[in-house]
Amino acid sequence: MEAEPETRFFFSDEAIFRLATTTTYTWSKQGERPIVPTNLSHEKLIEMGAVEPKTGESFHLFVSETTKETFSIFLKEFAKAFPEGKIVFIHDGASWHKVSSPAAHMELWKLPPYSPELNPREHLWKWIRDHVTPKEFFESFEHLEQALTACIRDEKKIKEAILSVCKISLVG
């Protein structure tokens, strides 16, 4: 009898990145106020992403809006990227997440309402905001997208970040 494949758990979430500069604390000379250039554009880039905290593997897709249609596209592309084994795909209860699984090997699980602390993917958004976009002035929307794309395509760096900030401690 053939052994059943190990179940893989992926956690999913979306993040909005705006063209406006993300300001954080910084060092400056006493009595001098640092000047941070900013772009007051309201353009935004939405990244849908999923991570497997156990292995550090991830999947990302940029979309223009959060709708059932874009989430369905995200799930279909994810299923193509991870076509084998049993996958439990865990997401929050956003209204656009009310779709069915695009593949027989994927189960969709919903987190309890108002519980972002249960989603390790949230920690990766913070890491990206702390390491990729803080105090960075992006002259255009394309520059923002290039910076985010470079970050998620650096497989070694993003895997290390996931294994570091998306850890899950199981008790039992």
pLDDT for 158 beyond 50: yes
Which sequence spans correspond to the domains of the chain? Answer: 11-23+37-165
pLDDT tens-digit series, residues 55-88: 999 999 999 999 999 999 999 999 999 999 999 9
| 3-state DSSP assignment of residue 15 | strand
What is the spatial distance between Cα 71 and Cα 48, in angstroms, rounded to a whole number? 8
Q: How far is CA 63 from the centre of its chain?
A: 12
Please state, in angstroms and rounded to a whole number, the distance separating the CA atoms of residues 77 and 73. 6
Each residue's pLDDT tens digit, 84-112: 999 999 999 899 999 999 999 999 999 99
- If one counts every other C-beta atom within 10 angstroms of the C-beta of residue 120, the result is 19
- List, for residues 97-153, the tens digit of each pLDDT value: 999 999 999 999 999 988 888 899 999 988 988 888 776 777 788 888 898 999 989
Q: pLDDT confidence of 21, banded at 50, 70, 90?
A: low
pLDDT of residue 9: 95
Residue 2: predicted pLDDT = 66
Token match 């596209």: residue?
A: 73
Question: Quick one: CATH architecture of 11-23+37-165?
Answer: 2-Layer Sandwich (3.30)
Residue 47 has pLDDT above 80, yes or no: yes
Q: Give yes or no for residue 171 having a pLDDT over 60.
A: no
Instruction: Say how far apart CA 10 and CA 119 lie, in whole Å.
Output: 10
- Three-state SS for 53-113 is CCCCEEEEEEECCCCHHHHHHHHHHHHHHCCCCCEEEEECCCHHHCCCCCCCCEEEEECCC
